[in-house]
Structure 1
Amino acid sequence: MSAGARVLVISGPMGAGKTTLAQGLVDRHGALRVSTRELLLARLGERGGDRRSLQEAGAALDRETDGRWVADSVKEFLGRQQGPPRPLIVDSVRIASQIEALRRALGAQVMHVHVSAPAQELEARYERRRSHAVSDPERASFGEARADTTERGVEGLAEIADLVLDTQRHSAEAVTVQAACLFGLFGRDVERLVDVLVGGQYGSEGKGQIAAFLAPEYDVLVRVGGPNAGHRVYEELGHYTFHQLPSGTRAASRARVVLGPGSTLSLRVLHQEIADCRLEPGRLFIDPHALVIEPSDVTFEEESLRKQIASTARGVGAATARKVLRTAAEPPVRLAKDLKELGPFLRPTREVLEDAYARGGRVLVEGTQGAGLSLHHGDYPYVTSRDTTASGCLAEAGIAPGRVRKTLLVCRTYPIRVQNPDEGNGTSGPMAGELSWEEIARRSGLPLDELRTQERTSTTNRQRRVSEFDWVLLRKAASLNAPTDVVLTFLDYLSASNRSARRFAQLTPEAHRFIEGIERVAQAPVSLLSMGWGFRHILDRRLW
């Protein structure tokens, strides 16, 4: 027998919804289903027959084995299963001795659900099925079928069931949810399995590289936000910039990849990344409520927001505004569920995450932009169109705060903001202690040409502005996000010699003092350090 297999036994009268419940557990939770009819036919071999003959053969087996034949058959069925154990649904049992034998054979692994409905409702359902059963012209009427001795006693099984459900009062989905919870298919408690990675400044803190570094430790990778944020990941043979998918998609090839309900989708960008990463349905899941950006959204932002606040003009804000307007929006809002081309990838994020929680799987949520660009907490109107804090990212993904284990706040040694190519410095918002790239080159010893080449935005390819480290912003970001850990990037901008560090002790004294200050103001340890552009330039100081 497959070790650890759990068995849910269903009982109930004709028309009560036993098979509907069993199929619901198969479809939603990937359970195995076996019918006692199949088990009986397997035991009878060539001696099968019509419904009445099978009922008589089953009754004879019950008398001969005192109901043990079902338990024996289930054990044989489980013994043939390969791979990790899956929940087994037995549809259905008809007498108490069958259930008792299953409990003796499998112990606490067996749970019993009894479904029923008022007699009038059962008869109506039975007759509807009977009128469509052209392949079974000898099917008995409801009264004749109920006259069977075993059938008359089925309702008595409610007295020994772990859960009794009225399928007239509860929808099929509600019945499935209650049975699944009894069976522990959603997990037995609320484990803290989610880690959140967010920016602490104005974006471009290097979140993508850190997310890719951490990704192999997780079972599910979730990204929220939209294509207005580009996360560059350096790989062994170059780099790749993600605008829609989680940055660890290529680094963690076995992890499930999820775009949450708060995501905004550029179909062109999304399809390109799906092709580049060779994602198939079953690995990528897009929430049906994710928002689709229309060409008119991009046009609107290019004609207004690009010049006014240095927007990336990818249509995210305009699309989000239409979603808020709901039916008053023009053009009408389209969600992922409205596009046939996305159909194979559609699944509610909540379901993907619930499956992960039930297995004890770990989840990494990757936010975009940074706390200084939050719609609610940034320097309005020089902000993005969403809340970029950990709380905002969790809400967009549909994750409860009680699920969170770690919150990682990513900061860089010299914050940056985008520079508007049309209006000059300053139009993308205020920065404290603005510097030049010439000054950064002088302080660090890094080549100026390299800095200017690398410090262009991933989405719009604009030159970035740069400033002194903003300690006030760090304290604000720490207050908004309550990080358990800080990730500090671009330590090579303090000194080029930090690029060669392979241990914490090899960093410069200035870097050590800087890290000490970060930990004091953020009230959290600096657990990860990045010293350069390459994929090997990360120091891991985590204690978890």
Structure 2
Amino acid sequence: MNHNIVILGSQWGDEGKGKIVDFLTDKANAVVRFQGGHNAGHTLVINGEVTKLRLIPSGILHDGVMSFIGNGVVVSLEALSSEMNELLARGVPVFDRLRISEACPIVLPVHVALDNAREAALGDQKIGTTKRGIGPAYEDKVARRAIRIGDLRAPQNLKQKLKTLLNLHNFTLKEYYKVEDQFDVEETYQQLLEYAKTILPMINDVSAELNAIRKKGGKIIFEGAQGTLLDIDHGTYPYVTSSNTISGTVASGAGFGPCYLDAVIGITKAYTTRVGSGAYPTELDDEVGEHLGVKGCEFGTVTGRKRRTGWLDLVALRRAIEINSITSICLTKLDVLDGLKELKVCVAYELDGEQVEYPPYDNADYVRCTPVYEVLSGWEGESVFDKRKWNDLPAAARSYVGFVEKKLGISVDIVSTGPERSQNVIVKDVF
């Protein structure tokens, strides 16, 4: 029996993690975010009602389940407050269900300004960030100058820390980026104190609480943000996010020992999408790509940006499986492939006249990779939408899933057949 499960994206993000976390939370005692910030967007559809979450874990809608924001998450108090208010307006008892680590760095308005200034300065070479200030906030964390959630408890020390931080960033904005807008220490300080009134009751030792649940035999889901191929170390650098998105980050981002984890579920879209710049060998700029984008509603939850679309890439997935120690796959959005006569799957790359089975780490090499495809039959005229049993899927759809399993040497335990929480084929209970 699995008690502690990591659920993360195995591609470039937007794989449908939120839906699967929400679905599996029925069997969990706690759900934990362990990295990223409000640049992550998880969309839940429950009985036709859409809920969009950015910072708060996808388990927040469940009675009797605690939601935790671990120390590896950078927290915008403005975004968190807005998200909480949306949920409170719907009757969700957020204060009872949510706990936040005192070690979380705070994303300040100056971080957003820095993010925007950097992207503008890069021009055509921009990273394609969400411009939410995530990168600059992580930089302050690593430089050991971050304002953290716990600092809200000591307002007498907070102002001096804030003054030091803002002096540095104001100087950078004005002298390097030529941005005239400056951030006032007193104004920012008062904003933080106002947010503290709401946030302080939810601050807790998240690591201790999680381990207490573990010792009692409870079940915990660790919810990843973004995707493996956006990992700061293992992604298509520099076109990546500013945190580690892989399963190993659970230990550092939540204070939960790696030997306590029982399974890692790789959420994998039945095709591939990407937002922002960077290598993308299977990208389609044709009618099929348009089909995937329209039918899959491929627009960012946070930014609304149109996602790039392409065929399923097993080369990239192979890397994701190994660096995450993924134990099984949940294949999402299989229904988006409805209506296609044939399907292509990338099984290798060709680089400088040679076939490679792993993606290169250098983005300049990665962009020169061309996909080697195998062609499979689609299930044109049939549909997987809303199917709940394996044998109810079209034969070609079952063959597609089987092909992925065989090529990757890993089982597909869940197949998502629509956006609703309940629209899944459960091949094996991951708990």
- TM-score scaled to structure 1, two decimals? 0.59
Alpha-carbon RMSD across the aligned residues, in angstroms, is: 1.9
Q: CA deviation at 1:481?
A: 1.1
Q: Distance in 2 between matches of 1:280 and 1:200?
A: 29
Q: Deviations over 1:336-394 (max 9, x none)?
A: 11223321111111121122122211110000011110100011101111111111233
- Tell me how far apart the structure 1 counterparts of residues 316 and 331 of structure 2 sit (CA, whole Å): 14
CA distance 1:459–1:236, change in 2 (3 Å) = same
Q: How does 1:126-525 map to 2 (within 5 A)?
A: 193-224=3-34, 225-250=36-61, 252-278=62-88, 279-305=93-119, 308-327=126-145, 333-339=146-152, 340-341=196-197, 342-419=199-276, 428-436=277-285, 438-440=287-289, 449-451=294-296, 454-496=297-339, 497-525=383-411
For 1:450 and 1:210, the matched residues in 2 are separated by: 19
Displacement of 1:433 in angstroms is 2.0
* Contact 2:335-2:418 within 8 A present in 1 as well: yes
Q: Give secondary structure in 2 for the equivalent of 1:248.
A: helix
Pick the structure with more helix per residue: 1
Which consecutive unaligned segments of at least 5 residues does structure 1 have? 1-190, 328-332, 420-427
Displacement of 1:212 in angstroms is 0.6
CA-to-partner distance for each residue in 1:239-281, whole Å, 9 max, x for gaps? 111100111211x221011000111111112112223333454
Displacement of 1:531 after TM fit?
1.6
SS of 1:326 mapped into structure 2: coil
Q: Distance in 2 between matches of 1:367 and 1:326?
A: 24
> In structure 1, what is the Cα distance between the partners aligned to 2:95 and 2:419?
33
Partner SS state of residue 253, structure 2: helix
State whether residues 53 and 83 of structure 2, in contact with CA within 8 Å, keep that contact through their aligned partners in structure 1. Answer: yes
Q: Provide TM-score, normalisation by structure 2.
A: 0.74
* Contact residue 437 and residue 466 of structure 1 kept, 8 A: no
> What is the distance in 1 between the residues matched to 2:250 and 2:135?
16
Distance 1:280 1:433 in 2: 41
Instruction: Give CA deviations for 1:430-465 in whole Å, capped at 9, x if unaligned.
Output: 1112113631466x8xxx7555xx211111101110
- Counterpart amino acid of residue 267 in structure 1: L
Q: How far did residue 413 of structure 1 move?
A: 1.3
Unaligned runs of 5+ in 2: 153-195, 340-382
**Which SS does the other structure have where 2:99 is aligned?**
strand
- Assess if the C-alpha contact under 8 Å between 2:388 and 2:425 holds in 1: yes
Aligned length: 334
| Equivalent position amino acid for 2:267 in 1 | V
Moved over 3 A (4+): 278-282, 448-451
The corresponding residue for 1:528 is: 414
Contact conserved, 1:192 with 1:402, CA < 8 A, in 2? no
CA contact (8 A) 1:408 1:485 kept: yes
1:238 deviates by 2.0
Residue 426 of structure 2 is aligned to residue 540 of structure 1? yes
Q: Following superposition of structure 1 onto structure 2, how do residues 111-122 of structure 1 map, counting pairs within 5 Å? A: none
Shift of the 495–440 alpha-carbon distance from structure 1 to 2, 3 Å rule, reads farther
Which amino acid in structure 2 is aligned with residue 335 of structure 1? R
Once residues 506 and 358 of structure 1 are traced to their aligned partners in structure 2, the CA distance between those partners, rounded to angstroms, is 41
Contact (CA 8 Å) 1:209, 1:234: kept in 2 or not? yes
Q: Distance in 2 between matches of 1:253 and 1:275?
A: 18
Deviation of the 1:285 alpha carbon: 1.0
Structure 2 distance, partners of 1:465, 1:280, is 35
Larger Rg over CA atoms = 1
C-alpha distance in structure 1 between counterparts of 2:30 and 2:244, whole Å:
22
Three-state SS of the structure 1 residue aligned to 2:116 is: helix
Distance 1:322 1:416 in 2: 31
Does 292-301 or 505-514 show the bigger shift? Answer: 505-514
Distance 1:389 1:485, change over 3 A: same
State the Cα distance separating 1:500 from its structure 2 match: 4.0
CA distance in 2, matches of 1:393, 1:429: 26
Quickly say closer, same or farther: Cα 1:503–1:359, change in 2 above 3 A: same
CA distance in 1 between counterparts of 2:211 and 2:315 reads 38
Q: Which amino acid is the alignment partner of residue 255 of structure 2?
A: G
Partner of 1:148 in structure 2? none
Residue in 2 that maps onto 1:6: none
Higher relative contact order (CA 8 A, sep 6+): 2
Whole-Å Cα distance in 2 between the matches of residues 502 and 354 of structure 1? 35
What is the CA–CA distance in structure 2 between the aligned matches of 1:372 and 1:449, rounded to whole Å?
23
For 2:312, what is the secondary structure of its paired residue?
Answer: coil
CA deviations 1:104-157 (Å, max 9, x no partner) are xxxxxxxxxxxxxxxxxxxxxxxxxxxxxxxxxxxxxxxxxxxxxxxxxxxxxx
Identity across the alignment (%): 29
Once the 2 structures are TM-superposed, how far is the Cα of residue 532 of structure 1 from its aligned partner? 2.0
Q: State the alpha-carbon separation in 2 of the partners of residues 461 and 282 from structure 1.
A: 31
Secondary structure of 2:385 counterpart: helix
